[in-house]
Amino acid sequence: MSVANVGRVGFGVEDVMALRSQVLARSAALRDVRAASEGARATNVLGAPAPVPGAGFADTLHTALQQVSAVQARSSAMQVAYERGAVTDIAQVMLARQEAGVAFEATLQVRNKLLNAYQDIMRMGG
């Protein structure tokens, strides 16, 4: 969200969509960094095609949560593999941990924004 919107109490669909765009941009940047470090091209976290633009909000949210879960599982697996000695590149392990942390933080921010939007809508109904 921009600095101009910080003082505002409520927010709308535009703000949620802007936050979603920021999250997607950060996710894409992390994928690019990971792909560069592995020498592979960037792909979707689950290896699945990108979400369909006309998909419903619930489907989009569910897909995003699955992606975050996959990133966290990959990070945990890499950490365990490093502890066993199967993975020797600490940079890959740290990159996976950072990616999982950013994905979780972005999910938490989206949840907070959605909760605030829900509370604002509930207050309007009275």
- Reading the block at residue 48, the tokens are 């699945």
Of the pLDDT bands very low, low, confident and very high (cuts 50, 70, 90), residue 34 is: low
Of the pLDDT bands very low, low, confident and very high (cuts 50, 70, 90), residue 40 is: very low
Say if pTM beats, i.e. exceeds, 0.95.
Answer: no
Q: Of 7-11, 42-46, 87-91, 95-99, where does the model show the most confidence?
A: 95-99
- pLDDT tens, residue by residue, 105-124: 999 999 999 999 989 999 99
Of residues 23 and 98, more confidently modeled: 98
CA distances from 5 to 20, 53, 108, 118, 119 (A): 16, 27, 19, 18, 18
Dist CA 100 CA 105 (whole Å) = 9
- Burial-class residue 28 by CB neighbours within 10 Å (0-12, 13-18, 19+): exposed
